Structure 1
């Protein structure tokens, strides 16, 4: 039995509504229902009576609710005591991220969770290209990097990188574009198109990946416009100026005329990495990494098909 299962149970018991509880917990309703079912299976008793209109606690559920609340209160008290001892109660954590990272659910959830658990820690956030983040980590002017890994980038001594999420790449184009009528696209389908990309020299790993994909398909992308911000690139593609290839997180950008299509290539993905120094044993960094693992694990559960 895990603490998160108890938190899920208590929230559902307080709301007596799975949809509202899922929204409050910031997870999907199907995975929440699955976790509650798993908890009931582990306990061997039903905790809720479910009908089409209402959810009720069973007698066992009412008894378990009091116990669960006490266990969570004890866990929170223990966490606060340990945090004070370990120096997690205050301090500064310097975090940099790529232009598309804030559009991911993972980064939103990680920052929200970290702020709730460690309200006195100052989060100093900055947007920075992936290459610049590596340099800042080595120079110790940065504690955590959320970045993309260039395919040809060599290992950096003293730094570690781990994949948090593996995002697909999507094609962004005007909704009236002829290619928008197709059911799927390959990179070769874009050979005659005008491209909108980030400028050279800004340290953006994805553009180098796109160029290599184009080269393997037998062409060099014809770049007609450059922009530093992903939002600007989506807006320019929506205006019909050209096409763009970006991480799937940009689907959240709601701009009139923008159309997003999956890219059917085996390497059409852009992992979001967490970068840190090997020798950084700061409790603030370790807590941030732990929350990243927790949130990434939850998102993996949400993507699993319901049974």
Structure 2
């Protein structure tokens, strides 16, 4: 795996966001560069106790793509913010390490049992955890064997594609219209093929910008919004096609909701299976995603 400092600060934060979500942090919000207001990532972790109750913890994650150690004044500034805003845990993730003074002060802080609890991942910790997820190494160009790792990494998308292809077969058998599911199958196939080709040619994925004239669907109202946001063409097309496949709406509405792109359609499934499919697709673009039964919101990374 190459030096983490070869990543841009935005790519490093996006990598950490992907990793903490894979490790179980829920409802993550990425405070994109310039809007972090004291923390880069905020999420929730649900911890069961022996009584049968589940404790909700608010986690702040601070990302530092540094070549030198992170000093105590920088750490203290983030601790003060997290304490003021009642975070339970503050996790520092860096491509280097904490300074000796920062390590000593963090240990003193934790010994007092104050809130938030301070946790820290240096470069070795981060790389060890990333090694559990070959898709991360492939996505960010950190794999020593990208072609081999990509075959494993793309498997979740392949399973989704197979599921929809099997469903399409039953549509034919029962005389149901296949237009929407065929579009979803085609969009998923495009995404898988594009990512595999990029890894084979470049050793990592290279998101390609959405252009409404080339990539827009006729049944989308707001293709221009996706173009202006510089969203990845393959991921966005797959998300839109999956939404329309399940929605009762004839048109998918796309607009801005604050800093996020809102893609709306009626009666989207609330099942974890459908939500998981959307997350698996969104992983392969530089974006974060949240969804409800009527709306999918995506936030595109500023590279």
TM-score interval w.r.t. the shorter chain? under 0.3
Q: Which has the higher contact order (CA 8 A, sep 6+)?
A: 1
TM-score normalized with structure 1 length: 0.21
Using the size of structure 2 for normalisation, the TM-score is 0.22
Q: Which entry has the higher C-alpha Rg, 1 or 2? A: 1
